[in-house]
Amino acid sequence: MSAMLKHVAIICVCAYLLPYFLRWYYSITIDQPDEEYDFIIVGAGTAGNVIANRLTESPNTKVLALEAGDNDAPNFFISVPLFAPFLQRSKRDWQFRTEPQKKACLLLKDNVSLWPRGKVIGGSSTMNYLWYVRGGKDGYDSWEKSGATGWSYKDVLPYFKKSEQAMHKNMTEDFHGTDGYLKTSYPYNSELGNIMLKAGEELGYKHTDYNADDMVGFHLAQQTVYNGQRITSASSFLRPIIKERRKRLHIVGRAHVRQIVFEAGEDGRKRASGVIYVRDDVEVKVRARKEVIVSGGAVGSPQLLMLSGIGPKQHLNDMEIPVVADLKGVGQNLKDHVYVPATIHASNLTDGISVNDNTLFKTAFEYLLRGTGPLGYAGPEAQALIRSSHAKTNSPDIQLILLSAEWTMANIEANQNNLNYKQEYVDRLRQWGEEHDTKTLSNFLIFNGVLDPTSVGYIKLRSSNYLDHPVIQPNYLSNQKDVEIMIEGFRLIEKLEKTKSFKEIGAKMELSALNCGDETQSPRSDKFYECMVRAITGTSFHPVGTAKIGAPSDVMAVVDPRLRVYKVDGLRVADASVMPSIPSANTQAACYMIGEKAADMIKEDWNL
């Protein structure tokens, strides 16, 4: 008996110590940084990790990356793509919230949209929905025309290719990279994804490589997934190189930067000389010999700039923050893609066409053995990229995304913290299910989004306390044009309903629970769809533009075309906040590109 107790005790001790061992084994962070570095990067996210990797290719360059979140591994919810929603509202999520919206989000609690952003090594690349979409040529050419010299499509394409290691077949080397750190592929797709492509063909749309010349058409998803595993900026740009570069690349987690430190330069201009961060309630000051690079994203970067005295003078005065540089554009020019889900009922679906709980249970063993099956994708698997009648360029301005998973009342209740629906809407959904004697609210979803939004918002400080989340006001659907584009998106779904491919599975929109009228069948009125769009507006998690690139003559520009912050020295911003306008695409790919291009410019400026 004593021997058995001894073995049990050993097992218990091992089980107790295992999490600590795993954290030590997988950790890429240090606890105590040096006093001085060549470069300090604030934010170990999508762009920041690219910069950290590329700058430390120079053997004599010493870099510190600071991240407010903790290590990304080991974490099952990060590595398994389908588990992305479980990271929202967790400690790895900043859990930002918008201000109440007047013309959108009307069926969300308090009319507020939740903005999940990654608070972890790897940033939002650890919790996004993995789409690798670059956006149309015209969008980047418009950056160049707006004053972002050197950011045209021909200028940025080499940096998209530089970061990518395309693992999918039939890709064109003119548009895809094969030697980069970031693996991309076509992940799992259900038969429903193929059905959507066939329906698109019936409507005259082709299936192309949307990251090549022409984006318009119906497509399967290219994603940052390989062998069923999520590929993040940490797993691709940090973990493969950290062992050999530990002496010149230091990463500190749980390090929340509260202020950029400035000193007077020789010409009287202020120069960024370091940062102050807080870790476990202890303040630490670190000096930068060359530059501080802010990569905190479209929310975090303008917040830190303003906390450090860079921003609109009057706002800084109101917050009682000493002004270092009066830059009116900090926090302005906020844009985001918005989406509205259409619930689709398919009366003739056969087993295996779409994804449901039974499918996941049956394929769990397949995923564990070979990394294949539906667990190896994040849900969205096919899309349509279409030009509306409002489109000003050849780039699409409508995106329809297929989520080929059943949506049940149990899903609603389990995800209510993320969905944030008002109870009245949840009650109507439950009542609809009871009236139709079904637990399935939809067999799949099609998300309808506007890629070229006209509505513009802002971010400003709530207080001078770095722990207080900023005021986020996206002003969703404040411009009627955005609503009109989304109505055209619903007209396209109505056309899909009429295709042979959709009729064979009995696919039709079921939207009666919205309380927007009794128009139960397509075609519905513009008034119905406007009601729907304003009722359940959702973020696509693509905020950009709050520290935009621009010419010196542009009073709203925050950084110059080399990403250097105006009116100060030794400070750059490199992340989604510098985008002058939002690409016609999910923004992940563009953030990797910005990191690559920023690193090259920094190397050039310092002869590294």
For the record, the structure tokens of 157 come out as 């394409």
Helix (H) or strand (E) holding 410: helix 409-414
Query: Is 570:272 a contact under the CB 8 Å cutoff?
Result: yes
Hey, what amino acid is at 348?
N
The tally of CA atoms less than 13 A away on the side-chain side of residue 64 is 28
Hey, what amino acid is at 85?
P
The runs of H, that is alpha helices, within 498-544 are 500-504, 526-535
What is the C-alpha to C-alpha distance for residues 386 and 200, in angstroms, rounded to an integer? 11
Q: Which of 176, 219, 337, 542 is catalytic?
A: 542
Gyration radius from the chain CA atoms: 24
Residue 405 phi, psi (nearest 5) = -135, 145
For the record, the structure tokens of 251 come out as 């990463």
- CB proximity list for 6: less than 8 A, separation 6 or greater: none
Query: Is 294:68 a contact under the CB 8 Å cutoff?
Result: no
Q: Is 279 exposed, middle or buried (0-12, 13-18, 19+ CB in 10 A)?
A: middle
What is the C-alpha to C-alpha distance for residues 22 and 499, in angstroms, rounded to an integer? 52
Find where tokens 């690559």 sit.
596
**Terminal-to-terminal C-alpha distance of the chain:** 67
Query: Is 299:46 a contact under the CB 8 Å cutoff?
Result: no
- CB proximity list for 477: less than 8 A, separation 6 or greater: 101, 103, 104, 338, 455, 483, 533, 534, 537
Query: Is 461:303 a contact under the CB 8 Å cutoff?
Result: yes
Find where tokens 């570095």 sit.
37
Residue 542 annotated to the active site? yes
Closest CA to 514 of 431, 457, 577: 431
- CB proximity list for 171: less than 8 A, separation 6 or greater: 209
Partnered with residue 108 across adjacent β-strands are 421
Partnered with residue 564 across adjacent β-strands are 572
For the record, the structure tokens of 144 come out as 């160049």
Cβ-based neighbour number of residue 457 at 10 Å: 23
- CB proximity list for 4: less than 8 A, separation 6 or greater: none
Closest CA to 324 of 567, 577, 574: 567
Residue 345 phi, psi (nearest 5) = -100, 135
Would you name the residues annotated as active-site residues?
542
